[in-house]
C-alpha cells in the first residue's frame, strides 16, 4: 500500500507540535499593571497526514463571543480525528477586551484597525503584530469569527473579497445563507494577510456579548465545510450543502429621527424598495416617522436596542441580483439549523438555549 505523505511539524515560539499531536501554546502579551502576565491562548492540532494549515480566530473584538463557542465545538468535534494538515485555533485574540467585555483594547483602540502592527508601537499594534506574525502568516487559510456590535444582530453571513476566485470558492463552500462582497478595510487583519497570500474568510453572525445557537451551529458547520473543501477533512456525501446567495452590495438604513424603534421586519425578511421597515416615535407615539427601505433586498442586520438617535444605523439590507433566490436559500438554511429540530447533529453537544 502506498504510504500517505506525512504532515510537517508546526512551531510556535519555542514549542514544536509533531504530526499526530495536539498542544496548547500561550503567546506572551504585554502584562497588566497588577503585576499579572497576559497570554493569548492557542491550540494547535497537527494531523498525521499532510494537508493545508488553517487558523480559526475569534474575539478580535473582545465582546464578540459567539466565535469562542464555535471554536470550542469545532475543537471537540469527532471528525477532527482524521485531520489532514494543521488546525490552529485562537478563541480569544483580544484577551484584554474579552476580560473587560469590551470590543476595544484598554487604550480604547480597535484592534482590527491596527494591522499589520509593529513590535514597538501602541498596545493595539503590538497585539496585531503578535497575532499576524505568529498565527496568520504561518497559515495557508484562515477563518475569522465576528458578531455584530453591541445591541445589533447579524444574520449569519460570510464577508469576503469575491474578486479572488479561490476566496470566492471558499466563501460559497462555507454554506452561510448570504455571502457579501466586502472590500478590504484599512488596518484590518484581512487586509494585512491579503498581501502574504493567506486566504481569509470573515464570518459575521449574531450579537455581541450573547450566544446565539443558530449562528454557532452555522459557524461550526461552515468551518467544517471549508475544511472539507480544502482537503483537511474528507468530503461527506451525507451532508446537505447550502448554495449561498451572493449579495453584490449592501445598504445601511438610518433612523430618520431620535426616538423609540418598533421594527416590523424579522431578520432574513425580503424587502421591496419603499417598504416600511419599522417606526420611530416619541414615548407617547405622538411624533412618529416611518422607516422606509431605500432599496429592495434582505434584512441581514438590525438594531436590537429600540432606543435610537437620529442618523443611527438600524437596518442593514443586502442587495442581490435575484432576491427570490436569496429568499429560498434563507428558508432552506433555516430549516437545517433550527435548534428545535432533534435530527440535527450539533457536533456532540446539546444546543445552547438562552
Ligand atoms: Zn467584529
Q: If you measure from the C-alpha of residue 329 to the centroid of ligand 1, how many angstroms do you get, rounded to a whole number?
A: 25
Query: 261: closest CA among 274, 243, 276, 247?
Result: 276
- Alpha helices for the chain (secondary structure H): 66-75, 95-99, 123-134, 165-174, 189-194, 213-229, 323-337
Query: pLDDT-derived band of residue 337, with 50, 70 and 90 as boundaries?
Result: confident
Q: What is the mean pLDDT of residues 327-342?
A: 80
Mean pLDDT, to the nearest integer, of 108-124? 95
Task: Judge whether 47 and 83 are in contact, CB under 8 Å.
Answer: yes
Q: Tell me what pLDDT residue 341 has.
A: 56
- What's the pLDDT at 344? 47
CA of 208 relative to ligand 1 center, distance in Å = 8
d(CA 351, ligand 1 centre) in Å: 23
Per-residue pLDDT at 352 exceeds 60: no
Residue 348 is predicted with a pLDDT of 46
From the number of C-beta atoms within 10 Å of its C-beta (0-12, 13-18, 19+), residue 327 rates as middle
> According to the model, what pLDDT value does residue 340 have?
64
* Average pLDDT of the residues in 103-116: 95
Give residue 67 CA to ligand 1 midpoint distance, Å: 10
Lowest mean pLDDT among 76-80, 248-252, 294-298, 336-340: 336-340
With b meaning 16 or more CB within 10 Å and e meaning fewer, what string describes 243-270?
Answer: ebbbbeebeebebbeebebebebebbbb
Residue 347 Cα to ligand 1 midpoint, Å, equals 25
Contact 134, 27 (CB under 8 A): yes
Cβ atoms of residues 232 and 51 within 8 Å: yes
Query: How much helix, strand and coil, in percent to the nearest 5, is found in the chain?
Result: 25, 30, 45
Residue 242's pLDDT is what?
Answer: 84
**Which residue did the predictor score with more confidence, 197 or 307?**
307
Task: Please list the residues that pair with 22 across neighbouring strands.
Answer: 45
pLDDT digit string (tens) for 121-172?
999 999 999 999 999 999 999 999 999 999 999 999 999 989 999 999 999 9
pLDDT of the residue at 271: 96
Given a cut of 70, whether residue 20 has pLDDT beyond it is yes
What mean pLDDT, rounded, does the chain reach?
93
Are the beta carbons of 171 and 179 closer than 8 angstroms?
Answer: yes
At 1 the pLDDT is 62
Tell me the whole-structure pTM to 2 decimals.
Answer: 0.94
DSSP code string of 297-313? EEEEEEESS-EE-TT-E
Say if CB 54 and CB 87 are below 8 A apart: yes
Mean pLDDT across 73-87: 94
Cα separation, 212 vs 280, in Å, equals: 27
Q: Which of 349, 288, 347 is nearest to 78 (CA)?
A: 347
Ligand 1: centre distance to CA 60 (Å): 7
Using the mean position of ligand 1's atoms as its centre, give its distance from the Cα of residue 273 in Å. 29
The single residue listed with the C-alpha cell 440535527 is 344
Distance 35 CA to ligand 1 centre (A): 29
Residue 113 alpha carbon to ligand 1 centre in Å: 11
pLDDT score recorded for residue 235: 85
216-264 pLDDT, tens digit per residue, is: 999 999 999 999 999 999 987 766 778 999 999 999 999 999 999 999 9
**Ligand 1 centroid to residue 100 C-alpha, Å:** 15
102 C-alpha to ligand 1 centroid (Å): 11
Q: With contact defined as beta carbons under 8 Å apart, do 283 and 261 qualify? A: no
Amino acid at each position: 500500500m502506498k504510504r500517505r505523505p506525512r504532515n510537517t511539524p508546526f512551531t510556535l515560539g519555542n514549542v514544536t507540535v509533531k504530526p499526530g499531536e495536539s498542544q496548547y501554546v500561550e503567546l506572551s502579551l504585554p502584562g497588566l499593571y497588577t503585576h499579572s502576565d497576559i497570554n493569548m491562548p492557542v491550540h494547535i492540532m497537527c494531523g498525521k497526514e499532510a494537508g493545508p494549515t488553517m487558523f480559526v480566530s475569534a474575539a478580535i473584538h473582545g465582546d464578540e463571543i459567539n466565535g469562542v463557542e464555535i471554536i470550542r465545538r469545532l475543537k471537540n468535534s469527532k471528525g477532527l480525528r482524521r485531520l489532514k494538515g494543521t488546525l490552529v485555533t485562537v478563541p480569544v485574540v483580544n484577551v484584554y477586551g474579552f476580560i473587560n467585555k469590551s470590543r476595544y483594547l484598554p487604550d480604547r483602540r480597535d484592534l482590527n484597525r491596527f494591522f499589520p502592527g509593529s513590535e514597538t508601537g501602541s498596545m493595539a499594534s503590538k497585539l496585531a503584530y503578535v497575532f499576524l506574525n505568529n498565527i496568520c502568516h504561518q497559515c495557508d487559510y484562515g477563518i475569522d469569527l465576528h458578531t455584530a456590535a453591541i445591541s445589533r444582530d447579524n444574520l449569519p453571513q460570510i464577508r469576503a473579497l469575491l474578486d479572488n476566485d479561490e476566496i470566492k470558492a471558499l466563501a460559497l463552500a462555507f454554506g452561510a445563507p448570504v455571502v457579501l462582497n466586502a472590500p478590504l478595510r484599512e488596518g484590518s487583519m484581512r487586509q494585512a494577510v491579503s498581501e502574504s497570500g493567506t486566504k481569509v474568510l470573515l464570518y459575521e453572525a449574531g450579537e455581541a456579548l450573547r450566544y446565539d445557537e443558530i449562528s454557532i451551529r452555522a459557524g461550526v458547520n461552515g468551518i467544517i465545510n471549508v475544511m472539507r473543501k480544502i482537503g483537511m477533512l474528507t468530503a461527506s456525501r451525507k451532508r446537505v450543502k447550502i448554495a449561498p446567495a451572493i449579495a453584490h452590495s449592501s445598504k445601511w438604513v438610518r433612523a430618520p429621527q431620535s426616538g423609540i424603534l418598533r421594527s416590523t421586519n424579522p431578520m432574513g425578511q425580503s424587502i421591496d424598495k419603499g417598504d416600511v421597515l419599522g417606526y420611530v416615535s416619541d414615548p407617547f407615539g405622538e411624533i412618529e416617522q416611518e422607516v422606509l427601505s431605500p432599496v429592495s433586498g434582505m434584512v441581514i442586520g438590525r438594531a436590537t436596542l429600540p432606543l435610537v438617535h437620529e442618523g443611527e444605523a438600524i437596518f442593514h439590507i443586502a442587495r442581490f441580483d435575484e432576491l427570490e433566490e436569496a429568499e429560498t436559500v434563507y428558508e432552506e438554511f433555516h430549516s437545517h439549523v433550527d435548534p428545535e429540530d432533534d435530527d440535527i447533529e450539533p457536533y456532540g453537544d446539546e444546543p445552547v438555549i438562552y
